[in-house]
Amino acid sequence: MNYSPPQFRTVNVTRYVTPLREGGSMPAIAEADDDFLYVLKFRGAGQGLKALIAEIIGGEIARALGFKIPELVFANLDEAFGRTEPDEEIQDLLKASVGLNLALHYLSGSITYDPAVTTIDPRLASEIVWMDALLTNMDRTPKNTNMLLWHKELWLIDHGASLYFHHSMHNWEEQAKRPFALIKDHVLLPQAAELEAVDLAFKAILTDELIDAIVQIIPAEWLEETSDDEGGEARREIYAQFLKTRLANSDIFVKEAQHARTTLI
């Protein structure tokens, strides 16, 4: 499987179309100067830049593993943008998000994956469960699957709740070796019967070089703004080392997922 880390395009937001009032991040559908619609993730919302960093890492790891992911782009928000927005809460969000944000190509006409309607085969289910356990992605539950069906294909979206270790990085090595207990709530866990085979296949894909290349996509300014005492580039290295350590100890989160599945079924 070939993967080349993309050179993220940068677009300028020209029109705020409508808010997507989901969770605390308040993303929005917006139009950019390339005339495409995007789901815009704001640096000034919820978990801020850390959610955008998790979106990049999670999304690009998913793409490297062969999943379908909407194109990710950097999105500039001008200081004058949104001054005429009548909703005070949205206007405050836009003011707090001036500068570089992140956006996902909007999949017009897509529908939310419903496990009661669509069955996913055990291999694909195992692949998604494994990846979410690696990323500690808590946001793929029956209430919020973060999966879309578009043109009869499954697309994965919204990895901003992944890598929650970065909200407290001081013990990142310990956190990298922990099982992911919240995998018990994963919408696809009942079908994930091939986790061991997936573990072998996916670890062969996610090389150290690939992890380093993905982490390099993160804008330096985002790392500087989210860093504490360690500094921005040191924080970039922590992201890379966290993922490499977690991969080296993948049996921990695989066994946790298998145990949770046995309990569930």
Q: Specify the residue for token string 């670890």.
A: 203
Answer with the one of 78, 105, 132 that is the final residue of a domain: 105
pLDDT at 46: 78
Q: Do both 40 and 168 map to the same domain?
A: no
Q: How many domains does the chain have?
A: 2
Q: Do both 69 and 130 map to the same domain?
A: no
Q: Do both 143 and 260 map to the same domain?
A: yes
Q: Do both 123 and 186 map to the same domain?
A: yes
180 domain-assigned: yes
Answer with the one of 105, 125, 142 that is the final residue of a domain: 105
Q: Do both 258 and 127 map to the same domain?
A: yes
pLDDT at 229: 63
Q: Do both 92 and 124 map to the same domain?
A: no
Q: Do both 98 and 117 map to the same domain?
A: no
2 domain-assigned: no
pLDDT at 22: 61
pLDDT at 142: 94
pLDDT at 170: 86
197 domain-assigned: yes
Q: Do both 89 and 197 map to the same domain?
A: no
Which one-letter amino acid corresponds to residue 201?
Answer: A
pLDDT at 135: 98
Full domain range(s) for residue 84: 10-105
* Cβ atoms of residues 104 and 72 within 8 Å: yes
Q: Do both 38 and 73 map to the same domain?
A: yes
Strand-pair partners of 101: 75
Q: Specify the residue for token string 């005339």.
A: 35
4 domain-assigned: no
Strand-pair partners of 40: 28, 103
| Mean pLDDT, contiguous 10-residue spans, the chain (265 residues) | 77 92 76 97 90 97 97 94 76 92 96 93 98 97 95 96 92 96 97 98 97 96 79 92 98 98 89
Q: Do both 141 and 246 map to the same domain?
A: yes
pLDDT at 80: 80
Q: Do both 125 and 245 map to the same domain?
A: yes
pLDDT at 21: 65
Q: Do both 156 and 26 map to the same domain?
A: no
pLDDT at 212: 96
This prediction has a pTM of: 0.94
Answer with the one of 72, 105, 138 that is the final residue of a domain: 105
147: left (phi over 0), alpha (psi -120 to 50) or beta: beta
